[in-house]
Amino acid sequence: MPAEPIQLHVELEVAAGKETELVQNFKKIFRPTISKQDGFVEVKLLRLRTTPKGDAPKSNWRLLISFKTEEQRVKWVATADHQRVWPSIEGLLTGQKFGAVLYDVQ
């Protein structure tokens, strides 16, 4: 039986006024590029709507990236495609820019 995929949750600190550009970049550049990678499962760009309970995250945006294995995700990060498209996202960020948490899907 194949193992469950991994999910990387990346909290994005988007610069003021750059939200629309982030969404367009994600749809037109980042998502089409990452979706062609070996082991790719899914990618989503999430915008915080509300925090019904508990503490709100420190950023309003989250990038959810899922690959079949962590090794395949790491391989993607090392590709020329990633080196081309990630700076176009990172350039829209501010402050600490991003934080990441890796999960195993159960």
Stated as kind and residue range, the H or E segment containing 43 is strand 40-47
pLDDT of residue 60: 95
For residue 74, name the pLDDT band (cuts at 50, 70, 90).
Answer: very high
Determine the Cα–Cα distance for residues 6 and 26; give it in Å rounded to an integer.
Answer: 20
In a domain, 61, yes or no: yes
Quote the percentage of the chain above a pLDDT of 90.
94
The string of pLDDT tens digits covering residues 1-13 is 568 999 999 999 9
For residue 58, name the pLDDT band (cuts at 50, 70, 90).
Answer: confident
In a domain, 22, yes or no: yes
In a domain, 29, yes or no: yes
In a domain, 24, yes or no: yes
Number of domains composing the chain: 1
In a domain, 1, yes or no: no
CATH at residue 51: 3.30.70.100
In a domain, 96, yes or no: yes
Could you tell me the residue range of the domain that residue 60 belongs to? Answer: 6-104
State pTM to two decimals. Answer: 0.93
Determine the Cα–Cα distance for residues 106 and 86; give it in Å rounded to an integer.
Answer: 28
pLDDT of residue 2: 63
pLDDT of residue 3: 83
> CB–CB of 19/12 below 8 Å?
no
pLDDT of residue 42: 98
